[in-house]
Chains A and B, each alone.
Chain A
Amino acid sequence: MAIEIGEESRDGATLLTPVGRLDSESSELLDSAVARHLDGGALKLAIDFREVDYISSAGLRVVLMAAKRLKAAGGSLVLCSMQPSVRLVFELAGLLPLFAVEPDRAAAFARLRAAP
């Protein structure tokens, strides 16, 4: 079962919504979607985790690389709607303090709107 990744744009920001688990296999698809938008010049990106059941280190790697790439380009990344399982994995990996995390997509878009 391939993961689905919803894609939406609003106010100059791109929102990606992966559906399912972000494991070693499905994370490659998220990576491709992120790359496609960043290659296309997107500087404001949000990832909505509300439909993500769990995330493994492969998924963390994709998010980490997206953050690095956006920071280097002067862009912004916001993560939102993390379920407890996803949040816990980010915490255990010591990654939570590195990211802008919002409770829902409205807050994520607002934060990206306000970003330089």
Chain B
Amino acid sequence: METCETVVIPNTAGGVRAAAQGFERFSTARGLPAAAVWPVQVALDEVLSNTVRHGYAETNPERQIEIVFDVRGGVLEVTVVDDAAPFNPLEAAAPTLDAPLEERSPGGLGIHLVRKLMDEVRYERADERNRLVLRKRI
């Protein structure tokens, strides 16, 4: 079995769903442990839904996002490449985590979860593309 698989999705909610289903197939076929799989599912949902919602001007026609799933050396690695506006999630402000209920905002939680759930997150901007690598030890 190949260690890696590529999924290409449109920048739509349906595309985000397809990516989740593609990752589920990938991880099930390789018998990956649930403890590593669900955090990556969450991180993938956060990254992709963020890109779909904020990454493109409204006038943009449908764009494609490429996602590569790979597992080797005990590490599950997901690479997301898109040509949306430059966005480095590692530079996003951390959310306030101790305000009372009335003052609590959902903003920034998604990126925060990605950083906390993954063992490693790497970002680079090259060839007018965002390239985000998520790594989770199995």
The DSSP consensus for interface residues of chain A is helix
Nearest residue (CB) in B for A93 is: B109
Interface residue ranges of A56-114 to B (CB < 8 Å): 56-58, 60-61, 64-65, 67-68, 71, 85, 89, 92-95, 98
| B17 CB–A CB distance under 8 Å | yes
Contacts A68-B101, A92-B113, A92-B117 given; indicate if A57 touches B38 (C-beta within 8 A).
no
B46: shortest Cβ distance to chain A, in Å? 6
Q: How many residues of A contact B (CB 8 A)?
A: 24
| B102 pairs with A68, CB closer than 8 A | yes
Q: Does A24 contact B (CB under 8 A)?
A: yes
CB of B138 to closest CB in A, whole Å: 16
Number of interface residues of B (CB under 8 A): 26
Chain A nearest CB, measured from B136 CB (Å): 13
Question: Which of these, A24, A56, A98, contacts B104 with CB under 8 Å?
Answer: A98
Given A56-B113, A57-B110, A85-B38; A95-B45 close (CB under 8 Å)? no
A23-B41, A94-B95 given; name 18 further pairs at CB < 8 Å. A21-B20, A21-B41, A23-B42, A24-B16, A25-B17, A54-B39, A54-B42, A55-B42, A56-B110, A56-B113, A57-B110, A60-B106, A68-B102, A68-B104, A71-B102, A89-B113, A93-B112, A95-B104
Q: Which residues from chain B sit less than 8 Å from chain A, CB to CB? A: 13, 16-17, 20, 38-39, 41-42, 45-46, 48-49, 95, 97-98, 100-102, 104, 106, 109-110, 112-113, 116-117
Cross-chain pairs A/B with CB under 8 angstroms, 9 sampled? A24-B13, A25-B13, A25-B16, A57-B46, A58-B49, A61-B106, A89-B113, A93-B95, A98-B104
